[in-house]
Amino acid sequence: MNEMYTDAWVKAVVLDKLFKRGCWGGRYTPLDSLVRWLGRRVRRNGGRVRRAIKQLVNDGYLILHKRGKAISLNPAKSREVAEFIESTLS
């Protein structure tokens, strides 16, 4: 992939990955696995992925679990998550 992708694209890909895996609320995925997977696609830039995830947590789209080592989507913002993914990736 190319590093020309915007921060909004990185955020949308993170949300889309969790959305497709069904990680809502109590069902979560390890943060390191997600960063490693996406860091390869964004030209091995895990720092950029971690910054995007931190912004998504601050915006309320993601929930941290296990002292910040796992994340899931916030079920209270399901509509906003779907709209953000569709508007950014399409």
Structural domain boundaries in the chain: 7-89
Question: Does residue 17 register a pLDDT over 70?
Answer: yes
Per-residue CA distances from 63 to 30, 43, 53 (Å): 12, 26, 10
State the fold for domain 7-89. Arc Repressor Mutant, subunit A (1.10.10)
- Which segments of 1-90 are extended strands (E)? 29-30, 62-65, 70-73
Of 7, 22, 8, the residue nearest 73 (C-alpha): 22
User: Which residue has 């590093």 as its token pair?
Assistant: 3
Arithmetic mean of pLDDT, 25-54 = 87
Question: Does residue 2 register a pLDDT over 90?
Answer: no
pLDDT at 44: 66
pLDDT at 1: 46
Q: State the chain's mean pLDDT as an integer.
A: 90
**Bridge-partner residues for 24, per DSSP?**
73
Banded pLDDT at 40 (limits 50, 70, 90):
confident
pTM of the model: 0.89
